[in-house]
Amino acid sequence: MNGIILERKGDVKINGIDVEEGAFPDDLSGARVSIGPDSRMQIYVGDTILYLGENTDITLVDPCAQKGADTEFDAILMRGKIYAVISKLKGSPDLA
Kindly give the parts of the chain with pLDDT less than 50. none
Whole-number pLDDT of residue 38: 96
What's the whole-model pTM score?
Answer: 0.72
Whole-number pLDDT of residue 40: 93
Write down the domain spans for the chain. 3-87
Nearest CA-CA partner of 80 in 61, 60, 55: 55
Q: Is 76 exposed, middle or buried (0-12, 13-18, 19+ CB in 10 A)?
A: exposed
How many helices, marked H, and strands, marked E, lie in the chain? 0, 9
Whole-number pLDDT of residue 77: 78
| 74-79 sheet: strands from edge to edge | 17-18, 12-14, 31-35, 56-62, 74-79
